[in-house]
A and B are shown apart, each in its own frame.
Chain A
Amino acid sequence: MTPLVIESTDLTPKICFRPDKKEFEISGESRPENVRKFYEPVMDWIDNYKDHLHANKAKGSEKLVFKFKFEYFNSTSAKFLTSIINKLDTIKQEVMPVEIEWYYDAPDEDMKNSGEEFSKMVSIPFRFFSVN
């Protein structure tokens, strides 16, 4: 499975999905000019990865850990993040365990609360980490 790596810009986060290294991370700021154009390849990659896991009969004993490390995301991005998290939930239900690690700056309760709201929408366990 080809990794997906997109470097960050002032308006878009870094995407680093490297299955060979078991690294799945989104980090930075998200307020793309064209949010669909930015997130569609990310969502497509996750769909393909799910098919890849199915085809390779991934074992339920393994676990995928996705790390979300946002400084900021706008409300339009939130809608696409919901879709991404729902896709991860499908992997959890159909293929193998998935966990989300949600990182936020220590004083930024809004970012923590956003993660908590996402966690209420899906069956994936979330772990929260404050960063100083």
Chain B
Amino acid sequence: MDDEFVLEILRVMETNNVILAFNGEFDMRVINALVTSVKEKLSNVESNIFVQKKIYNVMVECLENIFRHSENAIQQHIHLRSFAIFTLRKDGNDYYLVTGNYVQNKSVDFLKNIIDKINTLNKAQRWEMYREILANGEFSDKGGAGLGIIDIAIKSGSQLKYDFRKLNDNNTFYVFQVCIHNNNSHLNN
């Protein structure tokens, strides 16, 4: 029996107020199921509809970002290509969304640079960057050009965090964290 193992997972999730955790293959079907599930759960744990909506908006963009940056990540390990982890937890009044997925090593600098840049910008500057990318960014049909990340930054109103764990000459595991504060006053105009 793996009862101790299951109870340990349950304990970790309860201690950390985990609203949702998913680990596995990501496709549109999974994303839709997760989004629907979170929508229902949020109405029980968060009374502020605006905050509910922010979490929903940021979550959709985070999950879609996994697609954008996982593409072609692990060519030689097909089974890992769309593998990812997503967690949503509440800490006090704040919500933390974390994604983890594989990216190609050559994507790391782009991601680091754009997140570092966004973190130096205030609210108005973030909107300016959003407009600039919309007007002039180069897009594939899946998006890109960093629009998803700036959108997350604007809606969360917080600093973005990341970690990159290099696996081999081709691939890196990319962890991305965003916090949604309930008072939403962390960025000055």
A residues in contact (CB < 8 Å) with B? 10-11, 31, 33-36, 72, 74-76, 78-79, 82, 105, 107-110, 113, 117, 120-121
Q: Which residues of A contact B13 (CB under 8 A)?
A: none
The smallest beta-carbon distance between A103 and chain B, in angstroms, is 15
Q: What separation, in Å, do the CA atoms of A34 and B143 have in the docked complex?
A: 11
B142 within 8 A of A: yes
Choice from B32, B50, B64, B154 contacting A76 with Cβ under 8 Å: B64
Q: In the bound complex, do residue A10 and residue B134 qualify as a contact, i.e. CB atoms below 8 Å apart?
A: no
Cβ-based interface call for B131 (8 A): yes
- Can you pick out 7 interface pairs between chain A and chain B where the beta carbons lie within 8 Å of each other? A31-B64, A72-B53, A72-B60, A75-B143, A78-B151, A110-B57, A121-B135
Q: A79-B139, A107-B49, A117-B131 are in contact. List 15 more A-B contacts (CB 8 A).
A: A11-B32, A33-B28, A36-B141, A72-B57, A72-B60, A74-B60, A74-B61, A74-B143, A74-B148, A78-B134, A79-B147, A82-B134, A108-B50, A113-B154, A117-B130
> Given that A34-B141, A79-B143 are known contacts, is A113 also in contact with B135, CB under 8 Å in the complex?
no
B56: which A residues are within 8 A, CB to CB?
Answer: 72
Q: Does B127 contact A (CB under 8 A)?
A: yes
Shortest CB distance A19–B (Å) = 28
Question: Does B155 sit within 8 A of A, measured CB to CB?
Answer: yes
With both beta carbons as reference points, the residue of chain B lying nearest to A81 in the complex is identified as: B134
What are the 8 closest A-B residue pairs judged by CB atoms, nearest first?
A76-B143, A107-B50, A75-B147, A75-B151, A75-B148, A36-B141, A117-B131, A82-B134
Partner of A75 from the list B54, B61, B127, B135 (CB cut-off 8 Å) is B61
Asked if residues A110 and B155 are in contact (CB atoms below 8 Å), the reply is yes
- B8-61 at interface with A (beta carbon < 8 Å): 28, 32, 49-50, 53-54, 56-57, 60-61
| Chain B positions within 8 Å of A33 at CB level | 28
Q: Across the interface, do A120 and B131 meet the contact criterion of CB distance under 8 Å?
A: yes
Q: Are A117 and B134 in contact, with the CB atoms below 8 A?
A: yes
A residues within 8 A CB of B151? 74-75, 78
Contact A78 B64 (CB under 8 A): no
Closest to A72 in B: B57
Q: Which residue of B lies closest to A110 (CB)?
A: B155
CB pair B134 A79 closer than 8 Å: yes
CA of A66 to CA of B49 in the docked complex: distance in angstroms? 28
Question: How close is A116's CB to chain B, nearest CB, in angstroms?
Answer: 8
B contact residues around A72 at 8 Å (CB)? 53, 56-57, 60
B32/A10 in contact, CB under 8 A:
yes
Q: How far, in whole Å, are A36 and B142 apart by their CA atoms in the complex?
A: 9
Mark B126-159 against chain A: 1 for CB-CB distance below 8 A, else 0.
0100110011010101110001100100110000
Which residues of the partner chain A approach B130 to less than 8 Å between Cβ atoms? 117
* Residues of B close to A76: CB separation below 8 A: 64, 139, 141-143, 147-148
